[in-house]
Amino acid sequence: MVRRYVEGHCLGRTIVKAKVLDASILDQVSSRRFVGFVRGKRINAVIRHGKQLFFDMSVGFVTVHLGMTGDLIALEDEILPRHTRVLLLLNDSEMLVYDDPRKFGSIGLAKSVPDFLLEHRLGPDALDISRKEFVERVRRSRRAIKSVLIDQHVVAGVGNLYADESLFQARVHPLAPADQLSIHELERLWQKTRDVLKTSIDASTDFSKLPDGYLLRSRSSGMRCPRGNGTLQSIKVGGRTTIFCPVCQPMR
DNA sequence: GAGTATGTTATATG
DNA sequence: GCATATAACATACT
C-alpha cells in the first residue's frame, strides 16, 4: 500500500536535498551522514519486505519502518504535517515527508536488503513464504499461535490487527499453542493470512472497504461476530489486545 | 490522572 | 545458550 504510493510518487526521481527535523528517528546513522548519502541520488526501486521499506539508491538503500503511527506523504506545498521528522526534496518540486507522532518508526541506511534482513533476523515475507515453509516455521514454537503469527522473526509482515483477522478467517483460537495445531489448520491459516493481507492492500487499508464477514470492520469487544455466531471477546495475548469470536474460533 | 494504542527490542526468567 | 514472557520506548487520545 505505502510501497505502491511511494513508488508512484518517487520512482525515478532524484533526491535534491534532505532535511532531518528529528534525529532520534534515525537508526544507527547521524543526520549529517544520512543527508550526505541521499543527496543527488536517484530512487530506482521501492522494495517491501514485511513491514520494512527499502529505497534502492544504486549504491545502497534507505530503510524506512513506519512503526505504529508513521506515514510517508508526497506534498507540493510548504504546509508540513504536524509531526514531520524527515523531509526528502525531489527533483520534480514534490517532496516526500516522513510524519510520525509517536516516533516508533525509524529511518536508516543499509548496504543491501539481505544484509538488513539478516541483521534484524527477519523471517520470510508473509506474501512470499510457501505453504510448506510457513507450516514448518510456525509449528516450531509452543507459544500461542497469535504471538507466533505476529513474530517478525518467524514471518515478516503480519501486524496485530491482521493476525486477529487471519485467525478469525481460519477459525483458529488465538491462544492455541502453535505446535499443537494440525497441519491442516496451519495450512488454512497460511491461506487466510495471505488472503487477508492481499485484500487489505487492495482496500488501501481502509477497513470500511473490506468485504462482509471481515472482523476488522467491527473489531471491538461486545460487537456481534460478523458471521452472526456469537459476541466478540477481547483478551490479551503476549500483551497485545486480541479480539476473537469464541464460537467461531473454539479451543479444541 | 488512568488507561490504551496498528511495533520492536532489551532484559528477565526458567 | 535457548525459548518464552514482559517492560520499555514517546506521544496522543478517550
The CA distance from A95 to A76, in Å, is: 6
The C-alpha cell that represents A42 in the structure block: 536517484
Can you give the distance from the CA of residue A149 to the C1' of nucleotide B5 in angstroms?
Answer: 19
> Chain-wide mean pLDDT for chain A?
93
- Over residues A95-105, the mean pLDDT reads 92
- pLDDT tens across A188-243, in order? 999 999 999 999 998 877 788 889 899 998 888 888 899 877 899 999 898 899 99
Those nucleotides of strand B lying less than 7 Å from any protein Cβ are 4-9
**By C-alpha distance, which of A192, A139, A199 is closest to A168?**
A192
Nucleic chain C contacts, Cβ below 7 Å = A 24, 82-83, 101-104, 141-144, 147, 238-239
Instruction: Tell me the per-residue pLDDT of A113-159, one tens digit each, with 9 for 90 and over.
Output: 999 998 899 999 999 999 999 999 999 999 999 999 999 999 999 99
Mean of the pLDDT values across residues A45-74?
95
Position A160 scores a pLDDT of 94
pLDDT tens digits, residue range A78-87? 788 989 999 9
CA dist A248 and A230 (Å) reads 8
- Name the nucleotide with the smallest C1'–CA separation from A242: B6
A34 contacts A60 by C-beta, under 8 angstroms: no
Does A77 score more than 90 pLDDT? no
The pTM score is 0.93
Nucleotide closest in space to A163 (CA vs C1'): B6
pLDDT at A220: 83
